[in-house]
Structure 1
């Protein structure tokens, strides 16, 4: 076993021993290996006697990351989620600015704000909707304007 692979496997074995001593078990079905880095030999690893499945991308702490640390999929999912919320907001009976702007700030903006650390400055310029103000979000909804609209 190459030195790097051996070190990783040793750490996995140590984790298994620690879990056993503390009367705990890993859910091995949820354990995945994400091979990162260019030229990674993609070695196989095991937890106990079972081999750990390899995966091209994984979600951890709410972020989807692939083997190249590419966040494009995460960005697409986040923008899709924000657009779904905006779509639901279109069905709100009252379309007054006083109601819609706080809804955008509370429900949509947090999703878009989570992308800021994941994107570099140049990517933020390319994806103008990321971090959009509530007023910009209102403009993105077809038929809405930033001026108050009567309910109806």
Structure 2
């Protein structure tokens, strides 16, 4: 299997990790503080707060678009738009996220 060297990065996990350097095809692989895989952002401490902040940011952006575009504020109009456009961003990859800190719950 061939790997794209430009897309490969190392994510060092665990507290006592010696942070070894790795090579791929003769070139050094860069280390990264967080990594995005399958549209899910995870940092070196396995915190999901970045993923939650990005999901909330996308949802707020979509909600702002709905408010600007739709003239009617009736429940019959807003609820299907919310369920179709905004809710999937908030529910994607929510299973591994468990709020461990109070600031995570506020997002």
List structure 1 runs of 4+ shifted beyond 4 angstroms: 121-124
Q: Give the structure-1-normalised TM-score.
A: 0.63
Structure 2 unaligned segments of length 5 or more: list them. Answer: none
Structure 1 unaligned segments of length 5 or more: list them. Answer: 1-18, 20-24, 130-152
Match of 2:49 in 1: 72
Does 2:20 correspond to 1:43? yes
Does 2:64 correspond to 1:90? no
Judging changes above 3 Å, is the alpha-carbon distance between structure 1 residues 38 and 121 closer, same or farther for their aligned structure 2 residues? closer
Match of 1:61 in 2: 38
1:103 to partner: Cα distance: 0.6
CA RMSD in angstroms, aligned pairs only:
2.0
Q: Give the structure-2-normalised TM-score.
A: 0.87
Match of 2:77 in 1: 99
Contact residue 99 and residue 105 of structure 2 kept, 8 A: no
Which structure 2 residues correspond to residues 100-119 of structure 1 after superposition, within 5 A? Answer: 100-119=78-97
Judging changes above 3 Å, is the alpha-carbon distance between structure 1 residues 118 and 73 closer, same or farther for their aligned structure 2 residues? same
Across the two proteins, how many residue pairs are aligned to each other? 105
Q: Which has the larger radius of gyration?
A: 1
Higher strand content, 1 or 2:
2
Please list the CA deviations of residues 13-57 of structure 1 after superposition, one character each: whole Å capped at 9, or x if unmatched. Answer: xxxxxx2xxxxx321010000000111000001112111111010
